[in-house]
Structures are given as structure tokens and as C-alpha cells.
Chains A and B, each alone.
Chain A
Amino acid sequence: MSTDAIAILGFFALFALMLLRVPVGMAMGLVGVTGYASIVGIGPALKLVGQTSMRTVTDYTFGVIPMFMLMGALVSVSGVSRELFKAANSMIGHLRGGLGVATVLACGGFAAICGSSVATAATFSAVAYPEMRRFNYPQSFSTGVIAAGGTLGAILPPSTVLAVYAILTQQDIGKLFMAGIVPGILAMTMYVLTIMVIVKVRPGWLPGGEVKPWSQRVADLKNVWAPLVLFVFVIGGLYGGFFTPTEAGGVGASGAFILGVLRRKLDGPKIREALLSATRTAAAVFTVLIGALLFGYFLTITQSPQKLTEFLTGLGIGRYGVLALIMLMYLVLGCLMDAMAMIILTVPIIYPVIVHLGFDPIWFGVIIVMTVELGLIHPPVGMNVFVIKSVVKEVTFTTIFKGVLPFILTDILRLVILIAFPIIALWLPTRMG
């Protein structure tokens, strides 16, 4: 069998195993090693398993992943999301659509310290959904805005997917985080505008909440100092060159811990919960990383990435044509896969194409993360939607997808803007060192 045939067979086997619910990392590892063995031999293939597994889990730079996860988990259990939402709500909740806007703002604030989009969506399903329902917001809108707001978790720094992209492509994590800031703010702005358009088109659909006295507003606003301090400290330290990314994560987690204890928001069981949740997510992500590296070595010896690059550039559809094709592929993959798995599986193959076409790797990181995040909210499968459904039992999938539709349109528009004006993502990182 030719190496090309083996590579193609490998992809089919991979998808079959994944659809049969074999964990993504294990499926990639199994197919990668089997394919590798069929070309190089079983002995080297088995050695590769031990070597790659051990090297990956003891790679210091990968420490950034569990550290930012721990920081997010500690902040989550300290009830920061509730404080953020309360502050935003008491400022603007009384306006028509104001509760929706407050949800977007609070999601953004939370995203600035939590690296996960699913965690952001899960948190606000518990915090913001009951409040929106109390003021008769429709189920579809309430869940839709949370699903969309959740994606900010991965776009605004810190972001686990951006960190993994950086590691896979050997780009600077700090620069990628900086590149996420302006597009993240753009995303928030466009979500707010979307809500305002909805209010205009369907008056009465999103009623105003209650008006809070100014004393209350000031009091609520004061409560958000802790996450603000943490964000400025961690991201500022990274930008200013005080910490390496792994250190920023470790110091951020320690900072979240210290702030939580000082503000009496953390007790034994909560600390336990945060440590456990960081461990679980980190273990799951590393499993996929190991699998992807093994699959990657298999693809390397079949030289498929080079062949794919030659094929795509030989199509004669221009660099933006190829880019559009790639993004379309991501949207299709987003029908079945989780964001992290998609990034880890595809970046080693797609990245050489992108570099060959002369696109900026930092800019592409932002684009690709936004595209896979879109996969988390578009039908038929979307992690954010599933998570909301698991918290808000009474709502149907169809209702959530209906509510998220306007935000999907906004997301696509935002992607077009970012492709047309890469400077939006690149301005901040180019000002760094």
C-alpha cells in the first residue's frame, strides 16, 4: 500500500473510532501508532508511544494549561461570575434588553480570567438565566445569549485553546493572548449591537428589569475589583514581560487563591472542587495532546501536510480561496467535534498551508479559535449548547439553537471583518517587545 493510501485510510479509521465514542485522544493515538507501525515497523512505533507520552506530560511549557485552568476554576468557585453579573445588571438591567447586555458584559469580564468557553457558558446558565426568565425574557434568547457570551471565554485572554494553538505552532503565547484582546472586545460590542437590533425589531420581547438606586449600583460595582486586579496583574505581567506564560498561569492561580481566601469566598470544599476540576480538564486535554502528537508523527512520515499544501495551493483559487475552503472545513467539523479536539487535530496539518500562503500565524490563531468557537454554538452539535441544556433542564435544543441564531450571524460578520482587517488582531501584539 502506498503511504498516501495509508494516510487516507488512517483518516477514515480515525473518524470511525471517534464516532463510536472512543476518546478523541485515544483514537488519534491508536490510529497514529498503527499507521506509523505499518510504515516504519512495530518496534519503533511502540517506542514512540512511550517517548511521546512521557515527553509531553513533562514538558514545562505545557504547564501553562493546568495553571490557567486552575485559575479559572478558583475564580469560578469564588462566586465572581455572580458579582460581575450583579454589577452589570444593576447598571443597565432596567433598560430594554439590558439584562441581555449585562449577560454579555459579565461573560466578557469572566472571560478575562477564565480560559474556557464551556465553563463560561455553564457558569452563566446558573447565574444569568434565572434572572432573565424572572423578567419574562424568552427562553430562546436567554439561552442563546449565554451560549454566544460563553465563546468569549476562549477569545479573550487567557484562553486555553489559544495557548494550545501557540504550543502546537511554536508561537509566543503572550502575543497570541494580546491578539485576542481587541477582537474579543469587538465580539462583545457586536453582541451588544445585536441585542439592540433585536430590541428594535421586536419591541416588548426583551422587557426592562428593575431600576436600582445609585447607592446599590456603586456598591455592586465596587465588588468587581478582585477579578479586575487579577486580570491586570496576570495579563499586564505577561504583556509587560514580568512572567513567562506558564508563570503567569501559576501566579494567576495563586493570586486567585489568595484573593479568594482573603475575601472569604473560598473554603475547603470549594478549593477541593477547583483543584479537582482543573485536574480533570487538564488530564483530558493532555490525552488529546499526546494522541495528536502521535497522529502528527504518522502524518509527518507519510508527508501528507506537504502534499496537502501542494494540492491546495495548486487549486488556483488564490490564498483567500484556500482560506475560505479551510474555514468551511472547520464549520463542517464543528458539527461533530469539540473546539479543543478540532484545534489539536487540524492545526498540525493546516498550519503549514497557512504559513506557505503567507498569512500571519498570530492572526490565524485568532481566526481559527473564533471559527472553532462558532462550532460550539452552531447546530447540530455544540458543546456550549449541551452545557446550557444540562444546567437548564426545561429548555429544548431547538429553542437554544433558535436563540443563538442571530449571534451566529454576528460571529460570521466578525470573522469577515477580521479577515479584511488583520490589524484588529495584530495591532496590540506588534506593540509588545
Chain B
Amino acid sequence: QDKPVQLKMSSWVPAQHPLNPSLQAWADDIKKASNGTITAVLFPSEQLGKAFDHYDMARDGIADFAYINPGYQPGRFPIMAGASLPFLFANGKGGTAAIDAWYRQYAATEMKDVKVCFAFVHDPGTFHARKKILAPTDIKGMKIRPATSTIGQMVTSLGGTNVQASAPESRDMLERGVADAITFPWGSIGLFGIDKVVSYHMDAPLYVTPFVWAMNKGKYDSMSAAQKKVIDDHCTSEWAEKVATPWADFEYGGRAKIAAQSGHEIYKLTPEQLDAWRKSVAPVEAQWAESVKKVGQDPKAVMDSLKANLAKTSSAL
């Protein structure tokens, strides 16, 4: 008989966020598979610690499982930052399967202090702005709240400035003119009331934010072989997709909701415009490549592998 284990799971998104029920369902399945020996309590809304600290929390055992946004800390996870480069992902579901398969190669070295359970992404986000952003040159002089540090670098390289704010503060920043635009997935725009303060939405899958669901190593090691197997069986690409899907659906559905509202313009980019955007992010890609070289990896191999995985799951752009 295995000794009972209780897990503290930490998610920093608010309680009503679609990610939380998915994580709860994941934990419930673990309970079932372990004959009730592994139970879990989910703490949402930064109850165990701030969003920025979640990697350290999983490492230090402050949480047994933690929901991590590696992009919050520029410079710390250079390989993972590659997945947040613009114009790579076409959708969230296949994208999740792809990023999970891809990152499994690097997780043990880049996130060596934790046991990475799986990686996932949300449905692609884009620019939502108070004025129309068509060409990369439009970014010059704009104040933008980026989703990740990689998007932040893109903004800087195009002559814009970054505004840092948490998701709940973002609406305030836009309303007060501290920011002119935000990069956000579609559904969250409504969730945080940002649709009240912006009216132009670029209809292009600009970026995704990569996330990691990671476990404290000591906790894993303290489990019995049977319990470890249950955890391993729940740290798979299939589970990554299962957990990420409701959120991806929610974000995907947000586009239609905004389109149905009056006073909003959702505009497509011409192939030339899209091409200009792709070219404009070259300096950011170069910067990223440099940072990957520094940790002894070959940026081309890393990126090719990601693109191959995206192609395999038909989520490449």
C-alpha cells in the first residue's frame, strides 16, 4: 500500500480562469489512477506566491506543482524564449502538442531544478490597440504592454517602448494612456474588460506565450514507484493538450465575440504587410540566436526542431 501524498498545486491566474478547471480535472484523474493515494489542492490567484516566482516555487517546494510563464524573466530560459518568437504558431491545440514534444528535448537542461511535466501554449494572440497598427513601422513611438519579454524585445527593436503591467492592471494602463496597445489572446480581452478601451485588432497570429507545468523534484523522488508512474502517465503530450484545450477554445472564441460587438475593427493583413512583419522581427530572432549560443546550443537546430514539430501537428504558420 502506497503512503498517501498531498500535492499543493499553484496557479497564478484568477479562480474563474478556464485553466483552473482543467488542472483540477488533471489532478482528479491522478487521484483515480493512484487509487486515492495522491490527492491535490489547487491554489489559484497567487495564493501561494506571485506569478513571477512560480519557477522558483516549484524548485523550492513552496508548491509541488506550479504553472510557470518562463517569459516573465527575460534572459533566464533562452531556449524556451524561442517559442515566443513572433509568427510561429497558427493555433493553440496543435501548438501545444508541438511545443511539448519539442521542449522535452531541452527541459532537463534548461529547467534542471524542476521536473517539467508538460509544456503548453494558449491560442495565438495579437495586437489590440487604440489606433490601427498595419505596418511594423507603426510601432515606432508606441507604448505597448507585451505578453512576454521576447515580444518586448520586438517592440523595442521596432522603436516602441514597453509598459509593464499585470493582466488585471492592463485595462487601467490602456485607459490612462500609459499604454497604446497590448498583445493579448482574443478571449482574455473580454475577460479583463480590455474591449472597453481598445478598438483595433490585428487579425494575425502574432505570438503565443509558452507555459510549463512543473513539479518539485524532491516531491517526485519521495513517491513510490507506482505513484511515480501515475505522475509520469499524466505528464504527456496528450495531457498537455487536454489541459490546454478548454483555454485555447476560450481564447479562440473571443475573436467572434469581439467581431459581434459594435465599435471594433478587426482587420486582416495583406501578404505584403505580413511579409514586412516577418522581416521586421529578424533582429529579435538574431538576438534570440545569440542568447541560445551562449548556453551552448545551436539556435538553428533548436528552431528547426520546433518548426518540424509544428508542421507535424499542422500548427505551423
Contact = CB atoms under 8 A, between A and B. Distances in A.
Instruction: State yes or no: do A and B touch (Cβ within 8 Å).
Output: yes
Interface of A: 40-41, 43-44, 47-48, 51-52, 55, 59-61, 170, 172, 241-244, 247, 297, 300-301, 303, 433
A328 B282 CA distance: 64
Interface of B: 8, 41, 43, 47-50, 52-53, 56-57, 60-62, 164, 168-169, 172-173, 175-178
A59 B178 CA distance: 18
B172 A172 contact: yes
Nearest to B43: A300
A241 B175 contact: yes
B175 A433 contact: yes
Contacts of A44: 60-62
Contact of A51 (B41, B49, B172): B49
Nearest to A56: B50
Contacts, number: 54
A172 B170 CA distance: 12
B219 to A, nearest CB: 10
Contacts of B176: 241-244
B60 A244 contact: no
A41 B53 contact: no
B60 A297 contact: no
B195 to A, nearest CB: 14
Given A47-B56, A244-B178, 18 more contacts: A40-B61, A40-B62, A41-B61, A44-B60, A44-B61, A51-B57, A51-B62, A52-B49, A59-B50, A60-B164, A241-B175, A241-B176, A244-B172, A247-B178, A297-B48, A300-B47, A303-B41, A433-B175
Contact of A297 (B49, B56, B177, B178): B49
Contacts of B164: 60
Contacts of B172: 172, 244
Given A172-B172, A301-B8, A433-B175, A43 B61 contact: yes
B61 A170 contact: no
B41, B43, B62, B173: most-surrounded residue (chain A CB, <10 A):
B62
A408 B172 CA distance: 38
Nearest to A61: B169
Nearest to A58: B52
A300 B44 CA distance: 11
Contacts of A243: 176
Contacts of B8: 40, 301
Nearest to A173: B172
A47 B60 contact: yes
A300 B43 CA distance: 9
Contacts of A60: 164
A248 to B, nearest CB: 10
Nearest to A174: B172
Contacts of B175: 241, 433
6 interchain residue pairs of minimum CB distance: A47-B60, A44-B61, A241-B176, A44-B62, A300-B47, A55-B50
A305 B48 CA distance: 14
B164, B172, B175: most-surrounded residue (chain A CB, <10 A):
B172
A52 B168 CA distance: 21
